[in-house]
Structure 1
Amino acid sequence: MEKKLQISVSLVRGVRNLLQPINRLPPELLTLIFRQTQSHLPDFLPIRDLSSSSWQWLSLLQVCRHWRGLIASSPQLWSELDSGILPERFLKRSSAVPLKAYLGLKLYNLSEDMLDSIAAQSMRFQELHLDADSWHSSATIFHQFKCPAPILTSLTLVTDGRDIVSGALPQLFSGEMPSLRKLCLKHLTSWPKGYFQNLTHVCLYDQNEITRPTMDEFLDFLSDSPFLEELALVRAGPTRMDGAAQFHSPPSRTVSLPHLRQLDIGEWPSAPLVARFLSHLHLTANTDMYFWGDGMLNAAQPDSEIARSLALLLPEDISRLENMRGIKKWYLARQPRVILDTPFISVTGSADDKDRTLYMYGTFSASQLVPTQLLSRYPVSEVECLTVRDSCMDTDNANNLDVGFWRELLQGLPKLKKLEVLAFRSIGFTRAIVGALMPQSGTVAQQPSLPCSQLASLTVEHDVSLPAYCIRTMAEARARCVPPAARLEHLRVLVFDPNPQNVRQRRRRLRSMSISEAGSSTGSNSDSDETEDIGFENEARTREEEEYRMHTEDDRRLLEECVEIPGEVKFEYGVPLSVGLVPDAWPTAAYNFTRGRRGAL
């Protein structure tokens, strides 16, 4: 009777559970909901969070018998196999559905028998992401994958060279991977002929330097994938000079990549090598390019100081680089490494909107930014919006960019309409740019030349060193050279909190004064000292804020009273620093993946 009672109670609970609203859904729909709770990785450059959150969906098995049975009998929920998470159970319950296998992503404690069982399912492999160096057996792991993989679409092979001779990839899947479209390889530099063709996504990184391909060999590889959409070469690619080829020699052949949407080149030895590679490519207007690394953007070259110029990143002839046309925005930011540790240059944007944008971001020195060199390589004559930022004034790489530099640069931007000067704690930076906008006196028979005659909007960051008088003087001088309709329409000043460095100095002064005045006093307790320190800090902060507000109000009145600025003079508060100085897609997936961050294979 007790057994029958237990069965009856169990049946009642089951019926009551089935009457819950969510359990009234069809099993197919409930399975789709369960699938949405899973964390799915991208099929190209899969970066995974190694925390347990990615597998929390397994807790659904403990909700009720109905859910447990439904999940256990749904092969799609078990189609992503990880060597560190119950591989036997996933392999069994995935039945015959296509598999996404991650081997070595978390743990690599598979037995040889288990690996043989997984490798035997290569007919079902849709994706394979393998860290070969995580295999602890003496046997070569590549030899385990012998059977064909007819539906394999994405392959990632990560190795530091174990069981690899001269960077050559051992035979995989009997060479039968007809559906492969996305490929990521580390260290490997060569593979059997005909292995990889018609690829759409390629990432090569940390290749063996000695056996890297020559330019002709790599162009042959690209020619076999005319539908390539993404290409990432990080410490890899045709960086080895072949024959008598020189950096500036005319390209002997050109490979057209009409479908390429993104090109990543990172940590190459020098900028001229990048230019040499680009001279062999024909890219459409829809290709975004990202270049990063100290070796080609910051490090000094042994030849001469001019070898450090950012202009050498592009070939002399960029007629086949259609994505360099129509650049309308230019962001030039010199930032210390505490903000972003890797210098980069990028050209991005929508070709349909004709809104291509050039980004230059790093601790660049003045010798890298020679205007004549930049203007000769980068097609910026159509730029309408220029944003410049300098936060390197207090660093070892200050190299002030003076009035002459900015005057020469702005002369190459005849269509400039909007200028943003973002200088925080860089006292002379804003003054130099404002001075470059001043009209240049001509001869008696000539009118003064006016830099950026179409300039209508000026934005300036404001700390305690806003050169308001210089800005007003510049506006008055330009007003004498252009009709009222062509004068500044908008003057925007971004106002920030008082300089924290000044606040700290004021606090230290006040504290030292208080200590000297109370030097003869004795018997004070720590609580009273702490309260007194807080009081002095509050007093210093209040005085600093009052002084700052007074400067700001004086600057506002000085600029608002300038009749030569017929448009709006606007002071804005609380605008965050460095907004929009980097592309939305930066850092790219290739940058994150190849940096070896936590979660990458």
Structure 2
Amino acid sequence: MYKTKLHKYSVPELDLMEQKLQLSLSLIRGVRNFLQPIHYLPPEVLTIIFYETQQHLPDFLPMSDPSPSTWHWLTLAAVCRHWRGLIATSPHLWSEIDSGTLPERFLKRSSAVPLKVYLGLKMYDMSEEILQSIVSQSKRFRELHLDAGSWEPSSGSSGSIFHRFTSPAPVLTSLTLITEGRDIVNGTLPPIFSGQMPSLRKLCLKHLTSWPRNYFQSLTHLCLYNQNPSTRPTMDEFLEFLQGSPMLEELALVRAGPTLLDVGPPQVPPSRIISLPHLRQLEIGEWPCASLVALFLSHIHLQSQTDMYFWGDRMLNAIHNSEDAGSLALLLPEDISKLENMKDIKKWYLARQPRVILDTPFVSVTGMENGEEGRTLYMYGTFNASQLIPAQLLSRYPVSGVVSLAVRDSCTHTSNANGLDVEFWKQVLERLPALEKLEILAFRSVGFTRAVIGALVPVVTSQTSLPCPLLTSLTIEHDVSLPAYFIRTVVETRAQFTSAPTRLKKLRVLVFEPNPQNDKPINQLRSGITSDGESSVGSNSDSDDTEDIRTENEFQTREEEEYRRHTEDDRKLLEGCPESLGEVEFEYGIPLSVGIVPETWPTRAFEWTRDNPVRRAVV
């Protein structure tokens, strides 16, 4: 009976039934899909959401985080037919062209919208065909970021990659050109876009030192780096170039910019000053010497809002044996009246640390954080004492109005405070009459805390001199070398020469925890596996090793208990002078040496121009 019913239908009839069934299932799925809440949104809103799922890079120095994939958003097209159709017909979703990812499809679907073009930044080889198809759309270029080293000319082709860009780029606002100098003669950029880039405002060039006249003017952002040393412009030529962009907001010069070619009379008259009233950020990195930076700054007029960053070994480390070689004072000109951003410095951070976390010395002057008024001066590096001679340093840096000073020293563990002794700090602190807050961040730097505190001792003569008479807050990092008795003695001595309102009101001690977040001994007992992967059960050596580890853990535990007892004794000792000292607070679990570099460091230009950048992939 069952077999007879099946035989009622022919094969074509069964095929038709199956086709109708599949169509019905597809219709049901489609209706169910349209009943989802997200599909109540208008298509325009959905495309905005899709656009926000894309990774959009800055138009200036467009670095990206390498962890997320740039093209994950394309998986949205696999969700349903409606989304796939909406994505395929939304040109602005296809407006970022990458030479390594389906460039032809993106060019076609982007229709006539302006383009962001990334050529070779992922180090894909670009074929002549792909390059020509992209270049033909130059009238739509809003951004072009090109690494010329990723292009290999095909056999029979002539000229460099730059010669391919011949048509005007009327809407181009941002341009990045990276080259190591192949097919570039004397660092000169060949003509591009017929010289017609009227909208260009942001420019980044590597290696190139010159270009056709009147090419790059009215810029707001400029980064030049790794320029050909033999063809860099003179100071006069570079100032002439800057004069054509009075609206500059960001300027970064890394192993680039003007050079001193002549020995003798100044090449540029001292009276020539270029005003950059809109400059928000100036960065100078790896220049051949600090004095060249000072010469450049002597011809620049900066407003109070300009943040400055200077970095590099040759600029900021002593390279000669002379007393003032590499002095940080040489970074600034003798006359800083035109550098209005150097006025009103209220905070000063001076940190000497080995190259552990940050491997590049730098000096910066930035605006205060959290909307506070005033400026902040940062000095960070492996500076030696000759670079920090107070008489030289403080003659250039206007720090007399500083109300907060934080000093950090962990270069070496020596008893003489790394050469910055009591006399050094006396010369510094006597020039800080407005100082109210002092932080001594000297964990494991034996002698440094004692040297700084010692400079606060009043000088008793016929006219007693009290360093930093307004000092009311003192913060110290604590370890086993905390000179608690010495601190108390200095505080009590100062109290004899100050009135109650100006005495030390608060002492904060940041206690280092020798074994934080530790529920077990640091040295765990080994598993019963030898280095050869064989079980060590029954081995005499295993028993001996276990005993050694147990002994080491017991010693470590005793050492930590002794440290904590010392800490408690120090706290009681310092709290024992309430008539001379206000609040005493021992704080635990506070990260040590916080805030010694600005939150904005490292800057984007520093990361972009590094010899071995961590992030250089674009899109």
What TM-score, normalized by structure 2, do the two folds share? 0.90
The answer as to whether partners of 2:180 and 2:206 remain within 8 angstroms in 1 is yes
CA distance in 2 between counterparts of 1:532 and 1:30 reads: 66
Tell me: CA distance 1:553–1:89, structure 2 relative to 1, closer, same or farther (3 Å).
same
Residue type of the alignment partner of 1:213? P
Tell me: CA distance 1:219–1:463, structure 2 relative to 1, closer, same or farther (3 Å).
same
Tell me the secondary structure at the aligned position of residue 542 of structure 1. helix
Work out which of the residue numbers 326, 343, 346 in structure 1 matches 2:344.
Answer: 326
What CA deviation, in whole Å up to 9, does each residue of 1:54-93 have, x standing for no partner? 2111111211111111111111111111111111111111
Work out which of the residue numbers 232, 235, 238 in structure 2 matches 1:212.
Answer: 232
What is the deviation of 1:597? 1.4
Aligned to 1:81: 97
What is the deviation of 1:299? 3.9
What is the deviation of 1:395? 8.8
Tell me the secondary structure at the aligned position of residue 53 of structure 1. coil
Work out which of the residue numbers 185, 189, 193 in structure 2 matches 1:169.
Answer: 189
Mapping for residues 363-402 of structure 1, pairs under 5 Å? 363-394=382-413, 399-402=418-421
CA distance in 1 between counterparts of 2:594 and 2:116 reads: 39
Tell me the secondary structure at the aligned position of residue 70 of structure 2. helix
The answer as to whether partners of 1:463 and 1:499 remain within 8 angstroms in 2 is no
What is the deviation of 1:355? 1.9
Aligned to 1:97: 113
Tell me the secondary structure at the aligned position of residue 151 of structure 1. coil
Residue type of the alignment partner of 1:258? P
What is the deviation of 1:447? 2.8
Tell me the secondary structure at the aligned position of residue 608 of structure 2. helix
What CA deviation, in whole Å up to 9, does each residue of 1:374-415 have, x standing for no partner? 110000000000000001123999732100000011011011
Aligned to 1:552: 567
Tell me the secondary structure at the aligned position of residue 8 of structure 1. helix
Aligned to 2:577: 562
- Answer with 84-93 or 324-333: which moved more: 84-93
Tell me: CA distance 1:218–1:403, structure 2 relative to 1, closer, same or farther (3 Å).
same
Work out which of the residue numbers 41, 50, 61 in structure 2 matches 1:45.
Answer: 61
Work out which of the residue numbers 252, 263, 273 in structure 2 matches 1:254.
Answer: 273
Residue type of the alignment partner of 1:270? C
Tell me: CA distance 1:270–1:478, structure 2 relative to 1, closer, same or farther (3 Å).
same
Aligned to 2:599: 584
Residue type of the alignment partner of 1:163? D
- Answer with 292-301 or 92-101: which moved more: 292-301
What is the deviation of 1:590? 0.2
CA distance in 2 between counterparts of 1:57 and 1:317 reads: 55
Matched, 1:450 2:470: no
Work out which of the residue numbers 458, 461, 472 in structure 2 matches 1:439.
Answer: 458
Residue type of the alignment partner of 1:101? V
Tell me the secondary structure at the aligned position of residue 550 of structure 2. helix
Work out which of the residue numbers 365, 375, 398 in structure 2 matches 1:347.
Answer: 365
Mapping for residues 2-13 of structure 1, pairs under 5 Å? 2-13=18-29
What is the deviation of 1:529? 4.2
Tell me the secondary structure at the aligned position of residue 3 of structure 1. helix
Work out which of the residue numbers 585, 588, 606 in structure 2 matches 1:573.
Answer: 588
CA distance in 2 between counterparts of 1:125 and 1:397 reads: 61
What is the deviation of 1:562? 1.3
Aligned to 2:242: 222
Tell me: CA distance 1:83–1:254, structure 2 relative to 1, closer, same or farther (3 Å).
same
Tell me: CA distance 1:243–1:532, structure 2 relative to 1, closer, same or farther (3 Å).
closer
What is the deviation of 1:373? 0.5
What is the deviation of 1:236? 0.2
The answer as to whether partners of 1:45 and 1:184 remain within 8 angstroms in 2 is yes
CA distance in 1 between counterparts of 2:454 and 2:106 reads: 68
CA distance in 2 between counterparts of 1:16 and 1:308 reads: 73
Matched, 1:32 2:48: yes
What is the deviation of 1:110? 2.7
- Answer with 110-119 or 78-87: which moved more: 110-119
CA distance in 2 between counterparts of 1:415 and 1:47 reads: 42
CA distance in 2 between counterparts of 1:19 and 1:529 reads: 71
Tell me the secondary structure at the aligned position of residue 427 of structure 1. coil
Work out which of the residue numbers 254, 260, 266 in structure 2 matches 1:240.
Answer: 260
What is the deviation of 1:51? 5.2
What is the deviation of 1:564? 4.0
What TM-score, normalized by structure 1, do the two folds share? 0.92
What is the deviation of 1:360? 0.2
CA distance in 1 between counterparts of 2:250 and 2:63 reads: 17
Aligned to 1:469: 485
The answer as to whether partners of 1:215 and 1:242 remain within 8 angstroms in 2 is no
CA distance in 2 between counterparts of 1:5 and 1:397 reads: 89
Mapping for residues 484-563 of structure 1, pairs under 5 Å? 484-498=500-514, 525=540, 528-563=543-578
- Answer with 310-319 or 101-110: which moved more: 101-110
Work out which of the residue numbers 373, 395, 413 in structure 1 matches 2:432.
Answer: 413
- Answer with 149-158 or 22-31: which moved more: 22-31
Aligned to 1:231: 251
Residue type of the alignment partner of 2:434? K
Work out which of the residue numbers 475, 478, 486 in structure 2 matches 1:459.
Answer: 475
Aligned length: 577
What is the deviation of 1:527? 5.1
Work out which of the residue numbers 307, 319, 323 in structure 2 matches 1:305.
Answer: 323
What is the deviation of 1:25? 1.2
The answer as to whether partners of 1:365 and 1:398 remain within 8 angstroms in 2 is no
Residue type of the alignment partner of 1:254? I
The answer as to whether partners of 1:223 and 1:255 remain within 8 angstroms in 2 is yes
The answer as to whether partners of 2:417 and 2:446 remain within 8 angstroms in 1 is no
Residue type of the alignment partner of 1:430? T
Tell me: CA distance 1:551–1:599, structure 2 relative to 1, closer, same or farther (3 Å).
closer
Tell me: CA distance 1:227–1:396, structure 2 relative to 1, closer, same or farther (3 Å).
farther
Residue type of the alignment partner of 1:66? H
What CA deviation, in whole Å up to 9, does each residue of 1:551-584 have, x standing for no partner? 0111111110013434101100111122111111
Tell me the secondary structure at the aligned position of residue 231 of structure 2. coil
Tell me the secondary structure at the aligned position of residue 289 of structure 1. strand
The answer as to whether partners of 1:347 and 1:359 remain within 8 angstroms in 2 is yes
Residue type of the alignment partner of 2:547? E
Tell me the secondary structure at the aligned position of residue 476 of structure 2. strand
Aligned to 1:286: 305
Tell me: CA distance 1:524–1:7, structure 2 relative to 1, closer, same or farther (3 Å).
closer
CA distance in 2 between counterparts of 1:399 and 1:545 reads: 27
CA distance in 2 between counterparts of 1:54 and 1:260 reads: 32
CA distance in 1 between counterparts of 2:366 and 2:580 reads: 34
Identity %: 70
CA distance in 2 between counterparts of 1:60 and 1:327 reads: 52
CA distance in 2 between counterparts of 1:397 and 1:594 reads: 38
Tell me the secondary structure at the aligned position of residue 406 of structure 2. strand
What is the deviation of 1:133? 1.1
Residue type of the alignment partner of 2:140? R
Residue type of the alignment partner of 2:208? L
What is the deviation of 1:4? 2.2
CA distance in 1 between counterparts of 2:545 and 2:214 reads: 75
Work out which of the residue numbers 37, 44, 65 in structure 1 matches 2:81.
Answer: 65
CA distance in 2 between counterparts of 1:120 and 1:379 reads: 55
What CA deviation, in whole Å up to 9, does each residue of 1:118-152 have, x standing for no partner? 00100100000000111011542111111000000
CA distance in 2 between counterparts of 1:334 and 1:237 reads: 29
The answer as to whether partners of 1:49 and 1:598 remain within 8 angstroms in 2 is no
CA distance in 2 between counterparts of 1:276 and 1:348 reads: 21
